[in-house]
Amino acid sequence: MEQAQDSTTKQDSTTKQEIIQKNGPILRVKDMSKTYKTPTGSVSVLQHVNFEVQQGEYIAITGSSGSGKTTLLMLLGALDTPDNGEIWLDTTAVHTLRGVAAADFRREKVGFVFQLFYLLPTMTALENVMAPLLPYSRKLDFNLKKRAQVLLERVGLGDRLDHPPTRLSGGEQQRVAIARALINQPRVLLADEPTGNLDPKTGTEVLHVLRELQESGNQTLIIVTHDPEIARTADRHIQVQQ
């Protein structure tokens, strides 16, 4: 029996909480359940999950290994579909999206950051950041290369634009991945253990970059983490129970 529990772990300044509340919900999850069907039987992962995320909020999702954190993130980002319940991002019914509609939604509304970076090895940092929108570059109403460059500057890699992943440190690779996740100016940034593959010092630096982006850009940020220190820095904490 698993369920996500929602609790406020940190009271930031009242002003910040007030601003976030005023922004209103960007994401709403209603009575959502997910069961994986395998040849050897069913794995019930999430049951009757309910929560809301306000625009500009920074949420940490924690829970033991196998509790369903990655599953939850995949459902929020339309990489998978729930069996029951609803997921709303703004006015989009995410739970109804399939195939091309789900791909369009991910490209337009969501940014993903993964533990293992998943950069393309033959591309430079700049090309990696441009990659998600490269096939659509002619239809864009902004300069893709310029936006990618600005994002790499924002994550502190303005002097590494031409470096392929093999010539970047782990922390630098994750910062490229963060810039890539922001290339579409996503409504929500979903990060699955973004510091999990980094040493503590580098992990703290990467977290700092994410916080900075969230605070200065009013970027809604949802981070899955095993690290209680990271969870403590969040505005709110959602625990997935096994």
Where along the sequence are the contacts to ligand ATP (CB under 6 A)?
36, 38, 43, 45, 63, 65-71
Least Cβ distance, residue 68 to ligand ATP (angstroms)? 4
- Residue type, position 163, single letter: H
Q: Which window, 70-78, 80-88, 89-97, 111-119, contacts Mg ion (CB under 5 A)? A: 70-78
Least Cβ distance, residue 128 to Mg ion (angstroms)? 23
Asked if 70 touches Mg ion (CB under 5 A), the answer is yes
Q: Which does 184 bind (CB under 5 to 8 A by kind): Mg ion, ligand ATP, none?
A: none
The DSSP element (H or E) to which 53 belongs, if any, is strand 41-54
Q: What radius of gyration, in Å, describes the C-alpha atoms of the chain?
A: 18
Residue whose CB is less far from ligand ATP, 19 or 74: 74
DSSP string, 145-203: HHHHHHHHHHTT-TT-TT--GGGS-HHHHHHHHHHHHTTT--SEEEEESTTTTS-HHHH
Least Cβ distance, residue 204 to ligand ATP (angstroms)? 20
Residue whose CB is less far from ligand ATP, 116 or 140: 116
Q: Binding marks (x or -) toward Mg ion, 173..212, rule CB under 5 A?
A: ----------------------------------------
Q: Which does 194 bind (CB under 5 to 8 A by kind): ligand ATP, Mg ion, none?
A: none
Q: In whole angstroms, how far apart are CA 163 and each of 71, 143, 168, 199, 200?
A: 33, 21, 7, 21, 24
Cα angle 12, 16, 22 (rounded to 5 degrees) comes to: 135
Least Cβ distance, residue 94 to ligand ATP (angstroms)? 17
Return the exposure string of 104-116: e unless at least 16 CB atoms fall within 10 Å of the residue's CB, then b: ebbeebbbbbbbe
Asked if 149 touches Mg ion (CB under 5 A), the answer is no
Residue whose CB is less far from Mg ion, 70 or 149: 70
Asked if 67 touches Mg ion (CB under 5 A), the answer is no
Residue whose CB is less far from ligand ATP, 9 or 35: 35
Residue 94 in 3-state DSSP? helix
Least Cβ distance, residue 70 to Mg ion (angstroms)? 3
Total residues belonging to the chain: 242
Residue 116 in 3-state DSSP? coil
Q: Which residues bind Mg ion (CB under 5 A)?
A: 70
